[in-house]
Amino acid sequence: MSGSFPILTLSLNTFIRYYSVDHSKLIGEVSRRMQQSGGYDFYRLLSEAIKAKIRGATDDEIRFILGGTSNPSEASYNKAAYDMFMSKYGKKRGLTDFEKKGKVKLCDGELVIVVSPQFAIDDSSGFSVFNVWAAQNPKLDRARAGVGVYLMQQAFQKTAPNYDYKMFDAVDGKTYSAVNNTIPQAIQNVARTVVDLAKSA
């Protein structure tokens, strides 16, 4: 039956992290998540800085945004990720904010993935939408990035089906856009495991 009440709502990057860890670590992650009211968003300041840059903020304003955390390691990761974004895409023509948010319901709606890409590039080759990955661990590889690309495509298949969806790894500067045909089944399997763990947590 469709339309169950969501047990858990995760960001796209959190789901990719869950997809990447081994089962014993996943048990701990989901259990911790069920005891908190929503997870901590490590990407909020980085996303705000990227969007502010696109809207024309000064370097000082960007530095102020990136420094808006009391965690020194988070601040340095965010700054490194922002610098990587700038060196790769910050000067591109057609760089634009991406305002849409999407959702993907898995396991009959018991698990909801929220997808909110940070930026887009509108140029002669088309309209490309980027979700930023800034975590050092787990490292983004082709398979994990494919999970992100596939879920972005699903999230916007009704509202923006003709865009190119990409994962930008702001740690090593790579961009991924491929989805292999085993990914939808792999996502369903991980989603089912996450839901089962959430129910027993």
Residue 189: pLDDT over 70 = yes
Residue 37: pLDDT over 70 = no
Span 161-187, pLDDT tens digits: 999 999 999 999 999 999 999 999 999
What average pLDDT does range 192-201 have in this prediction?
95
Position 197, amino acid: L
Span 85-143, pLDDT tens digits: 999 999 999 999 999 999 999 999 999 999 999 999 999 989 999 999 998 889 999 99
Q: What does pTM read for this prediction?
A: 0.93
End-to-end Cα distance, the chain: 23
Residue 2: pLDDT over 80 = no
What average pLDDT does range 12-22 have in this prediction?
96
What average pLDDT does range 2-20 have in this prediction?
89
Better-predicted residue by pLDDT, 136 or 190: 190
pLDDT at residue 39 in the model: 58
Q: Helices in the chain by DSSP H: which ranges?
A: 12-20, 23-35, 44-54, 59-66, 72-85, 142-155, 183-200
Is the Cβ–Cβ distance between 125 and 94 less than 8 Å? no
Span 44-96, pLDDT tens digits: 899 999 999 999 999 999 999 999 988 888 889 999 999 999 999 999 999 99
Does the CA dihedral 13-19-21-23 come out positive or negative?
Answer: positive
